[in-house]
Amino acid sequence: MERAVQLFIAIDVKITRWMARYSVPVLRIGLGIVFLWFGVLKFFPNLSPAQELATRTIETLTFGLVQPQLSLPLLAALETLIGLGLLTGKFMRITLLLLLFQMIGTVTPLFLFPGETFTQFPYAPTLEGQYIIKNIVLVAAGLVIGATVRGGAIIADPEAVRRAKLRETAAD
């Protein structure tokens, strides 16, 4: 039985180390695919399910200065640019700043159009509301990626984490 436990621990350590090494690049690429895909869809009229709500939101936020025929291609370009930045890993700070900017705009329909984003405000979202709320996960993914932009990493070794926390506490 002891041998089985040791084997399980050894396998668990290898898997955890693999996840620590590859999870952020996989997250970055996955997020890049989502942004690229959704961005490219917006270049083609009526393919994006978020098109109408997005253009109305931009028109409202710009007090009517940016009309749908301009806002949709701009939004498509922004999302495509974010996707390409995430996929290539280039210009990550600006890419993540653009992602944050885009996400702030994305959540505004919850407040601007609660009648369309909730069946019962504030706890029962419509399909459009759910589409917006799921972006919390995209923001969290961007935060994790952003935490590694300056060379940080996920560490699978609990002892190394303990030592790092001790050094951090001593520095404060």
Joined tokens for residue 41: 């869809």
What are the domain boundaries of the chain?
2-171
- Tens digit of pLDDT at every position of the chain (172 positions): 899 999 999 999 999 999 999 999 999 999 999 999 999 999 998 898 889 999 999 999 999 999 999 999 999 999 999 999 999 999 999 999 999 999 999 999 999 999 999 999 999 999 999 999 999 999 999 999 999 999 988 988 888 889 988 888 888 7
Dihedral-angle region of residue 64 (phi above 0 means left; psi in -120 to 50 means alpha; beta otherwise): left
The pTM is what?
Answer: 0.89
Contact 85, 94 (CB under 8 A): yes
